[in-house]
Chains A and B, each alone.
Chain A
């Protein structure tokens, strides 16, 4: 089971869903905070709802306020990068490019991608944590850092 867990994690990295930052989070996990990574990821998914909503709202406006869009996305991107959400971050960067170029359509399109990656990662991480919990504490101790 532990091996399965390790494989799950490895594939997340291999597929580019997660990056180095996620490892940083794992390194922070210790006995005093044994569920630190999950805690942070949960916090992220909870808080990012409003960030995404901000962007949605801004995208509904007409005309588009690119500065505001960029600012909102900057926030969201920062948050996403802090948990190591690599693909999400990439899409965010693309979004900001479109913002700077004043390309409304590009922004809207890219935002769909952002949301897609965001949702995909969420599912994968949920599965991962669930599995981790099942694998039990022993597994944690063995988890390679």
Chain B
């Protein structure tokens, strides 16, 4: 057998068109476990099931494999305890970037760990030693996931969303399946806002995987509803009722809620230990993908030029800390740079928030914060965004881009769309942990350098400190939300990365108003952000960058690195760390979609990171803006 065959032999069934006669034979499984004995046994068992097995003993290698072979695998099985990367982090990454079903396994059968698996979006949790029977049925998760996606999509379709783009977005820009995110973003925007934000991307027409696009507004409504009910009491049914959105199903809400909780959990990360596992909704495999968008989204945004330069400047400025004046609102978006993966989506959202003008909905980025933010906050954000834009300029080689990026970010929906497209919806989920304004200072520069995305980060950072209003939301929210990051899925609003920055900012909690925003992002991308929610603010910012990327500017990947590291630094929470990493990567991808193999970047990023970013937090230097480091 050819273990490495990433062939598309199973493609037929994978596409969801139907199940081939051979199904589930040929299912392409990637199994990750640091224990060689277990790995060998699993490999043999899976082969006996007639699956195509690829085994891997390191999480980073696994990620690289996944990134290098988009659509090369159908399901991933991973151990929880691994030396180089926590299994849950890997789970998040995969969720954000690739939106593949992930099955966790461990000898540990304690309830908390199993719960953790579930809340992080694992499709299943197997207790070791794994038996053949358990493996035989893993294919059901793949089918279910696809089916779920289709179902969601249908809903969306009915809403006359144009999402088409969502899924289709070619991955050229984005290595990961961000395309889906992008599409989501776009479509959500369209659907929800029906405005012409300038959705450039409106082309998607073939939704491959129907998903509910959680636009900023929608997310905002969602967050409002959740807040009203109280995170503990927020059940999908009630949320659905409160939201009163036609065409939205309880399942949509449930899965979104799941992500959101995860997101919040991540944000609060260290604050809350017991958060969230209560996510309610069915475990939504799509949870992961959301985050990936973030980086991409920004790029998309940037590239699309949607964001008016000034917003970008504002954002940047905000990020840099200028935000002080601005008003916190901005901070939110910036945060997410880091989370490239997931943040991207949120970023977009954030940006939107910034751009008041585009839609008022934009503010929605903050949507998570609906309670706190109101238009004026958004305006503040906007302003911040603007300032950021300035900041970004220097950093980005493409100065114009930066601005545009920023501008884009600010721009409401359109940006998000762009980003979505680019990123494929990193689900800007704003990390609940937003509280990490940390990056406000350091990040901006660092972030900016990266590719614009960096800027975003920076900004977020700055904004983080600022938008107390936003933060408030997050703060309070955080506590409530278990931190399910399910939210990130598309919610773009979350800026998971932001958490990373938190070190820089104290406000973290406040800024996370973005969280809500993140939700908005959720829709499109599901994959991403699960974990990313942390950086909500930055996420928003990012979108701008994404656009930049799109333009084809080649941002120095290093930028991503920076962001990445920053992310690490911020990543106090493990989640963050992961996210950031992932985000960075995602971001990178988003940024340079055309140019770089995101994988490379990511790999590069990953390498240093190995563990998760922990150390980075302070080291990263968000404190000091690593602009210099950023090659930009």
Contacts and interface: CB of A to CB of B under 8 A. Distances in A.
A71 B41 CA distance: 22
Contact of B107 (A47, A81, A84): A81
Contacts of A48: 37
A135 B37 CA distance: 26
A27 B45 CA distance: 9
A28 B44 contact: yes
Contact of B35 (A21, A39, A47): A47
A33 interface: yes
Contacts of B131: 21, 24
A83 interface: yes
Contacts of A52: none
Contact of B128 (A25, A40, A81): A81
A82 B36 contact: no
Given A21-B129, A24-B132, A79 B37 contact: yes
Given A27-B132, A81-B107, A81-B128, A47 B37 contact: yes
Interface residues of B, number: 19
B335 to A, nearest CB: 31
Contacts of A71: 81
Interface string B43-58: 0110010000000000
A36 B44 contact: yes
B360 interface: no
Given A75-B81, A79-B35, A81-B128, A33 B44 contact: yes
A43 interface: yes
Nearest to B133: A24
Contacts of A36: 44
Interface size class of A (residues with CB under 8 A): 20 to 34
Identify which of A33, A39, A71, A81 gathers the most chain B CB atoms within 10 Å of its CB: A81
A74 B81 contact: yes
Interface in B1-52: 34-38, 40-41, 44-45, 48
A74 B108 contact: yes
A69 B296 CA distance: 41
Main secondary structure of the interface of A (DSSP, over half): helix
Contacts of A25: 41
Contacts of A82: 35, 37-38, 41, 128-130
B109 to A, nearest CB: 11
A28 B132 contact: yes
Given A24-B129, A28-B132, A47-B37, A78 B44 contact: no
20 contacts: A24-B132, A25-B41, A27-B132, A28-B48, A30-B48, A33-B44, A36-B44, A40-B37, A47-B36, A78-B81, A78-B129, A79-B37, A79-B38, A81-B107, A81-B129, A82-B37, A82-B41, A82-B129, A83-B37, A84-B129
Q: Which 8 A-B pairs rank lowest in CB-CB distance, beginning with the nearest?
A: A78-B107, A44-B37, A82-B129, A21-B129, A81-B129, A82-B38, A28-B44, A79-B35
Interface of B: 34-38, 40-41, 44-45, 48, 81, 106-108, 128-132
